[in-house]
Amino acid sequence: MIGDYPGAWDGMGEPEQSVLIEIHRAVSALLEDDSESVIDVSTLPLGVADLARLEDALGQGEVEATIEAGGKSTVRETGVSGVWIVEHFSESGSVLAKTIEVCEAPTILRAHREDIEIGRDELGRRLA
Amino acid sequence: MTEPGMDLLMWARGTGFQIAIGVFLFGLVLRLIEIFALRRKADVAPPKGDAVSGGLRTIFTRFVPAPGFAALLPAQIIGGVIFHFGLLFIVFFFVPHIAVIKDTFGVSWPGISSAVINALTVLTVAILVVLLVVRLKHPVRRYLSDFQDYFIWALTVVPLVSGYMAFNAVGPYTIVLAIHVLSAELLIALIPFTRLTHAFTWVSSRYYNGAFAGRKGTMS
Amino acid sequence: MANKPILKEVLRDRGVSRRGFMRYCATLTSLMALPAAMAPKVAQALEGAPRPSVIWLSFQECTGCTESITRSSAPSLEDLIFNAISLDYHHTLQAASGHAAEAAREAAMKAQDGKYLLIVDGSIPLGNPGYSTIAGISNEDMLRDAAKGAAAIIAVGSCAAYGGLPMADPNPTGAVSVSQIITDKPVVNIPGCPPIAAVMTGVLAHFLTFQGLPDLDELGRPVVFYGDTIHDRCYRRPFYNQGLFAKGFDDEGARKGWCLYELGCKGPVTRNACATIKWNGGVSFPIQSGHGCIGCSQPDFWDAGSLYTAVASPTADITPVAGMAAAAGVGAGVAVAALNAQSKKKTASESTPVTVQELGDKQ
Ligand code: SF4
Ligand code: SF4
């Protein structure tokens, strides 16, 4: 048991449980006042096996996307809606950065104003 | 600007090593000549037994403690045996040590698992600590101990502990490694000038005692 | 260079989308070990004005450091960061040359006094100023002059940071590092021969984001990148722990990927980020390619013994010393033995047998 969370998961080590608790708080905050959070996985004191257990516990959600923007990135929604796993890969396929994001949709997934403007202009040129 | 400990490590690997080996060889040769040049008056009494076989036998019989001693000094005897074998394996069968020997003398042999050496180091240091405590606690043994006994204890323990720290990445590696190499060099250099000389004279001194007794027809 | 396009437009021209830029900022943030929530702030800083003016001085160097940075992974996002700064002087990269270039440098230094970032690669010869000059100005004079008005100084590469190859024994040009000349200002050292491009851009990004320098260790290195040794983070470490070492570059151990310690790997005494960030956009790093670390980011690494000798093995030949010591030992041994024999004889001749009388007296 950690804090106010009695016996959260069976077979879970304390570090993974604390991360889950942090995620739980972040999801509550998102619901309460739209505040988004990001956790850099590389800064967590988790080993490969701990991380796998954590991801198992979060489960698989409805969205899975691959982004090709100056390199490959992937976005996966976990079983907890609003909790995403974002990974950026190098050319050789190794992970450059991995974050757990708590938000409606990760920034990297959304179309950005700047790009939309470029698209509109381009389309306009073709129509002209 | 240098990484802390790097200058020390480089000195230890170069000049320090040369000095250590130089002092060691000088001392060892000196001591051996001095010892072997010692003469006794000719023994004119008729021999009652064979000196050579007595000498050879004693080289081996002394591995076994004299009857009664084992019960009297269990810590020293069991600890002493394990400690000596531990040291032997750590010094000569840790792969990076073999690399040093190979780089220096060109000879090498297979090593044993570093994990085993690591465990042996813990055991060996633990035994050294126990032996020191035994020495300090027993009034007679403490009375019989002089400065050199404690000094060579420290001389042996520092390379063991620093080596363990270097291997297990405890503390700043460069500094720890420099201390390890330097302390091992100090140990090597001082072998001929301390009781540690027994590493080289135990065979001949056992033979001497054995041969002396053998000629008299007694056991040593 | 004042009307250089802003980063937004540069990105568009290169076909890099906003997403690509966000991705870059996210990886940079993670790389610099900043909290992930900082990524938007990093992005904002990288594209926000004012772009700091940068003056890059190259002294006794091989241009390898510039190569490392400009040839970083294609389609080089790293070089985009150079659009977040205004590179006002870099004699390899700029178009202008000769007096025009020097005039541009002086103009930038005057206009941006106290605000520009000074980057230096290469060591400085103090033996004779003539060994290396730019437009007739000695390296030392140019460095001192440019350092005066600099907001921060970054020494890129082992030569600028620690003297590097030019300073290696016997140091024919009397080369010194930047921090040996500039002692009144903090100098950030980014050693490596060459340094990893991402480390370099990471430090620049830090400067842009926080208008300051990252945490440095006692050798002036950013702790985030140089806090660990190669050995601390090496994937061959389990083999080291088990005592499984390759004995040659093509033996069974080498093929099985065993530890390269015996082949002279300097990973245990080398601080750098190669084992984690790796090279060429994360493709590999020397140890992964089968060669031990040569310790290129350490001070004096050229003089730290053979690249192929284990880091604890002796660097000196002991044969002459051993010969001399043994000979001296023989001499001293014979002398001591003779002395012993003499004193024994003396004792024997001087001593008289104990009489019964004497024994009786003692009791
Ligand atoms: S290859 Fe080098 S850095 Fe890696 S474990 Fe072996 S000695 Fe350490
Ligand atoms: S692995 Fe070692 S020698 Fe190679 S680049 Fe990195 S620090 Fe330099």
pLDDT at C3: 44
Q: Which domains does chain C have, with CATH numbers?
A: 7-226 (3.40.50.700), 230-303 (4.10.480.10)
Which stretch, B47-56, C35-44, C236-245, C343-352, has highest mean pLDDT?
A: C236-245
Give just the sign of the alpha carbon dihedral B45, B46, B51, B57: negative
Asked which of B57-66, C18-27, C64-73, C274-283 is least confident by mean pLDDT, the reply is C64-73
Inform me whether the pLDDT recorded for C240 exceeds 90.
Answer: yes
Residues in A closer than 8 angstroms to C284, CB to CB, are: 92
Q: Is C298 on the interface with B (CB under 8 A)?
A: yes
Q: Which CATH class is domain B6-35+71-215?
A: mainly alpha
Look at residues B199, B217, B144 and name the one whose alpha carbon lies nearest to residue B32. B199
Give the count of beta carbons closer than 10 Å to the beta carbon of residue B151: 13
Residues in B 175-194 with any Cβ partner in C closer than 8 A: 177, 180-181
Report CA Rg, chain A: 18
Q: How far is the CA of C234 from the centre of ligand 1 (A)?
A: 6
Whether residue C112 contacts residue C151, with contact meaning beta carbons closer than 8 Å, is answered with no
Residue A69 zone, left/alpha/beta (φ > 0; ψ -120 to 50; rest):
beta
Q: How far is the CA of C232 from the centre of ligand 1 (A)?
A: 8
Q: How far is the CA of A88 from the centre of ligand 1 (A)?
A: 27
Look at residues B57, B107, B36 and name the one whose alpha carbon lies nearest to residue B214. B57
Q: Which of A70, A94, A97 sits opposite C20 (nearest CB)?
A: A70
- pLDDT tens, A84-99? 999 998 877 888 889 9
* Inter-chain CB proximity B169 and C231 less than 8 Å: yes
Whole-angstrom CA distances from C304 to A83, B3, C274, C300 are 51, 12, 20, 6
Give the helix, strand, coil percentages of chain B, each rounded to 5. 75, 0, 20
Q: Residues of chain C with pLDDT > 90: what percent?
A: 44
Inform me whether the pLDDT recorded for A1 exceeds 50.
Answer: no
DSSP for chain A reads -BTTBTT--TT--HHHHHHHHHHHHHHHHHHHH---EEEEGGGS---HHHHHHHHHHH-EEEEEEEEESSSEEEEEEESSTTEEEEEEE-TTS-EEEEEEEESSS-TTTSPPHHHHHHHHHHHHHHH-
* Inter-chain CB proximity B96 and C262 less than 8 Å: yes
CA dist B39 and A32 (Å) reads 98
Whether residue C247 contacts residue B95, with contact meaning beta carbons closer than 8 Å, is answered with no
Distance from CA of C16 to the nearest CA of A (A): 7
Inform me whether the pLDDT recorded for C363 exceeds 90.
Answer: no
Which stretch, A91-100, B144-153, C24-33, C68-77, has highest mean pLDDT?
A: B144-153
- pLDDT tens, B89-113? 999 999 999 999 998 888 999 999 9
Chain-centroid distance, C-alpha A102 = 6
Distance from CA of B130 to the nearest CA of C (A): 28
Residue A43 is which amino acid?
Answer: T
Q: Which residues of C266-293 are buried (b: 16+ CB within 10 A; e: fewer)?
A: bbbbbbbbbbbbbbbbbeebbbbeebbb
| pLDDT bucket at A2, cuts 50 / 70 / 90 | very low
Q: Which of C304, C318, C334 sits opposite B104 (nearest CB)?
A: C318
As a whole number, mean pLDDT of residues A16-28 equals 90
Inform me whether the pLDDT recorded for A5 exceeds 80.
Answer: no
Determine which residue's CA is closest to atom 8 belonging to ligand 2: C296
pLDDT at A45: 76
Inform me whether the pLDDT recorded for B50 exceeds 80.
Answer: yes
More confident residue, C48 or A109: A109
Chain C neighbors (3+ CB pairs < 8 Å)? A, B
Q: Which two tokens stand for residue B124?
A: 């060996």
> Residue C117: which H helix or E strand, with range?
strand C116-121
* Inter-chain CB proximity C17 and A88 less than 8 Å: no
Q: State if residue C261 touches ligand 1 by the CB under 6 angstroms criterion.
A: yes
- pLDDT tens, C301-327? 999 888 999 998 888 888 888 899 999
Q: Which two tokens stand for residue C64?
A: 């390898």
Mutate to test the interface with C, among A107, A110, A112 (most CBs of C within 10 A): A107
Whether residue C158 contacts residue C191, with contact meaning beta carbons closer than 8 Å, is answered with yes
Determine which residue's CA is closest to atom 4 belonging to ligand 2: C293
Whether residue B121 contacts residue B164, with contact meaning beta carbons closer than 8 Å, is answered with yes
The DSSP output letter for B14 is: I
More confident residue, C50 or C197: C197
Residue C118 zone, left/alpha/beta (φ > 0; ψ -120 to 50; rest):
beta
Q: Which domains does chain A have, with CATH numbers?
A: 14-127 (3.30.1370.140)
Domain boundary assignment for chain B: 6-35+71-215
Inform me whether the pLDDT recorded for C262 exceeds 50.
Answer: yes
* Inter-chain CB proximity A94 and C8 less than 8 Å: no
- pLDDT tens, A38-66? 998 877 777 788 888 899 999 999 999 99
Q: Which of C316, C326, C328 sits opposite B14 (nearest CB)?
A: C316
Inform me whether the pLDDT recorded for C361 exceeds 70.
Answer: no
Inform me whether the pLDDT recorded for C352 exceeds 60.
Answer: yes
Inform me whether the pLDDT recorded for B190 exceeds 70.
Answer: yes
Q: Is C181 on the interface with B (CB under 8 A)?
A: no
For A118, name the nearest residue in chain C, comparing CA atoms only. Answer: C12
pLDDT at C75: 44
Look at residues C226, C206, C39 and name the one whose alpha carbon lies nearest to residue A40. C39
Whole-angstrom CA distances from A24 to A18, A29, B219, C5 are 10, 9, 82, 44
Q: How far is the CA of B115 from the centre of ligand 2 (A)?
A: 27
Q: What is the ipTM of this complex?
A: 0.84
pLDDT at C2: 43
Q: Is B114 on the interface with C (CB under 8 A)?
A: yes
Residues in A 30-69 with any Cβ partner in C closer than 8 A: 37-40, 42-43, 67, 69
Whether residue C214 contacts residue C223, with contact meaning beta carbons closer than 8 Å, is answered with yes
| pLDDT bucket at C74, cuts 50 / 70 / 90 | very low
- Decide: A and B in contact? Rule: 3+ Cβ pairs under 8 Å: no
Whether residue C153 contacts residue C180, with contact meaning beta carbons closer than 8 Å, is answered with no
Do you find a cis peptide bond into C222, omega within 30 degrees of 0?
Answer: no
Inform me whether the pLDDT recorded for C209 exceeds 90.
Answer: no
If you average pLDDT over every residue of chain C, what do you get?
A: 86
Q: How far is the CA of C192 from the centre of ligand 2 (A)?
A: 7
Whether residue B118 contacts residue B96, with contact meaning beta carbons closer than 8 Å, is answered with no
pLDDT at C76: 52
* Inter-chain CB proximity B9 and C269 less than 8 Å: yes
Q: Residues of chain C with pLDDT > 70: what percent?
A: 91
If you average pLDDT over every residue of chain A, what do you get?
A: 86
Chain B neighbors (3+ CB pairs < 8 Å)? C
β-strand pairing of A83-89 with A95-102: antiparallel
CA dist C345 and C171 (Å) reads 61
As a whole number, mean pLDDT of residues C88-104 equals 80
Instruction: List residues near ligand 2 (CB under 6 A).
Output: C 192, 230, 270, 272, 274, 285-286, 293-297
pLDDT at C72: 56
pLDDT at C362: 55
pLDDT at C84: 67
| pLDDT bucket at C50, cuts 50 / 70 / 90 | low
DSSP for C145-197 reads HHHHTEEEEEEEHHHHHH-HHHHSTT-TT-EE-HHHH--SS-EEEE-SSSPPH
